[in-house]
Chains A and B, each alone.
Chain A
């Protein structure tokens, strides 16, 4: 038993999750009143964001924080452990969710609010924050399922046949992925006898490498499915364009990044020896994902589906450093994750506005929006430059870190993959730009003000972070250091290294 209580300041570690779960319960009780739901939901997300900012500051100052539940000693109780990787992602996720909720204020019909879109969003954020902050592998599985059931609800909310079709594919494949994760988890427990992440690091180093490699491969498959890595990515372009744009933005921004986070956590930090044996396979699938994503985006005409393919390309980039572990490259992946959470969310939001302004979902039928609504064209331009990594926009800095890492390690294959991905993404983006904005003419089109303001807000954040990237880069470098040398993490949980 632990005798001392966790200091009150360290309760920050669980506050984001607690606030989301409580908020969701309160909103369920308020489900009859539409106005109250909107404001309470917004308030809860602001509070979560505040907690994440405070937590981020504390982790920046004193290193990883940990809290073990129920007065159990660390390897036995369930620990919540916040290190730079988890907190950075959780903060970016809460920021993106805040913008999405602002966006939904004007974009959501009343029946959707009555059916519980806000409680579901809070549950989704609870799942995402929990996954980023937990220090226990089985607990990670539970948060994955919380996230999954919330996203099921959001996916089918209006009950349109298109959404049902998308949800069937999304639901079945994601549920199989989490079941595979549970299988890998069970096997790992059988082999090393512990589920606490800090404890697994030491136990895995002493365990037999052959079965450990098989378990690592199973983890890679399960999280690869969640992260939409080629060749198990078919569910993403089949489903992310079906729900309303705000909901796609939330899912596109947050969910796949949790898969990448889990890959970084398990393969790079927990099972480094097994990861080394898998490195060639991981490199091949990362390269295929990074190149096929933007190539498919070039060939796609549905706006939100092609953004989905751009998202997949970014997942491939982040996976490159799981195959080639080099401090700068891992930092690049983490920075790319933060960038992707913000930029992809904003891209889906602007896609929703474009669909609203043109009344079309297919870029073949869109034209002349440049003259009809120049604000949209400006926002879209900033975001496509950010996503393809043109300096000084946000996407450039993570790619620079990756290039620096691969260059110093003379890893030419991943290096050229990064460059080719940037080029293909730029081609796909300019194609979208020309189709939607440049050809033909259209009549003046207006969009709802609050949704536009929310998109402006998120785009301004992306733009500002691009001009002053040091906070993202520093977060990423600290996170990478913590991943590659987890001594501080283990000490924070309270175990001997």
Chain B
């Protein structure tokens, strides 16, 4: 099962890289979402996919019996999903505001912070 998911992670990462290389901001944002999901899957498979039973310690024992699912990656992914979602929500609003203010979705046309065609720096004082 792990190799299949590992391949899927690779596919997601490739798609994300392709989308993020675009100049259109919307595609870049889509790439970021796909990359986030690739990483979530990666953490999931890094914890190994062992056994279908839930990680519950039986009464009177100090550790679970037999193979159980690894609970730690699930906790990590849950955190990562929440954080990633918040960041993505911010970036979408930011992209929309940038579109309103600069009338551009193409990052090549966002040149306010780094103006194009500036004259050369002075050579004397």
Contacts and interface: CB of A to CB of B under 8 A. Distances in A.
Interface of A: 138, 141-142, 145, 148-149, 152, 156, 159, 161-162, 164-169, 171-172, 175-176, 179, 182-183, 185-187, 189-190, 237-239, 241-242, 299-301, 364, 434-435, 438-439
Contact of B39 (A138, A182, A301, A435): A182
Q: Which 3 A-B pairs have the closest CB atoms?
A: A190-B46, A186-B43, A161-B101
A237 B118 CA distance: 15
A152 B125 CA distance: 38
Contact of B35 (A179, A241, A435): A179
Given A168-B95, A300-B121, A434-B125, A162 B87 contact: no
Interface string B58-100: 0000000000000011001001100110110011001101100
Contacts of B38: 183
Contact of A190 (B47, B111, B122): B47
A175 B91 contact: yes
A238 B39 contact: no
Contacts of A182: 39, 43, 80
A159 B20 CA distance: 25
Given A164-B97, A165-B113, A179-B32, 19 more contacts: A141-B80, A142-B83, A145-B87, A149-B87, A164-B94, A167-B94, A168-B25, A168-B110, A169-B113, A172-B91, A175-B87, A179-B39, A183-B38, A186-B43, A190-B48, A239-B113, A299-B121, A301-B121, A364-B121
B6 to A, nearest CB: 10
A301 B43 CA distance: 45
A175 B110 contact: no
Nearest to A237: B114
Interface of A is mostly: helix
Contacts of B107: 168-169
A168 B94 contact: yes
Contacts of B73: 186, 189
B90 A171 contact: yes
B94 to A, nearest CB: 6
27 contacts: A138-B76, A145-B83, A149-B90, A152-B90, A159-B97, A161-B102, A165-B98, A166-B112, A167-B98, A168-B98, A168-B107, A169-B107, A171-B94, A172-B32, A175-B87, A176-B20, A179-B32, A183-B38, A186-B76, A187-B46, A189-B47, A189-B73, A189-B76, A190-B46, A238-B114, A301-B121, A439-B125
Interface in B18-67: 20, 25, 28-29, 32, 35-36, 38-39, 42-43, 45-48
A164 B101 contact: yes
A451 to B, nearest CB: 24
A437 B96 CA distance: 41
Contacts of B36: 179
A113 B68 CA distance: 51
Contacts of B95: 168
Contacts of B35: 176, 179
A176 B36 CA distance: 9
* Residue of A142, A164, A237, A439 with most partner-chain B CB within 10 A: A164
Contacts of B84: 179
A138 B48 CA distance: 18
B119 to A, nearest CB: 8
Contact of B113 (A186, A242, A364, A438): A242
Contact of A165 (B80, B90, B112): B112
B105 to A, nearest CB: 11
B79 A142 contact: yes
A371 B124 CA distance: 20
A152 B101 CA distance: 17
B72 to A, nearest CB: 8
Contacts of A242: 113
B125 A438 contact: yes
Given A186-B43, A435-B125, A175 B32 contact: yes
A312 B98 CA distance: 27
Interface centre among B43, B102, B113 (most CB of A within 10 A): B113
A176 B43 contact: no
A156 B32 contact: no
Contact of B122 (A156, A185, A435): A435
B91 A183 contact: no
A189 B42 CA distance: 10
A148 B88 CA distance: 12
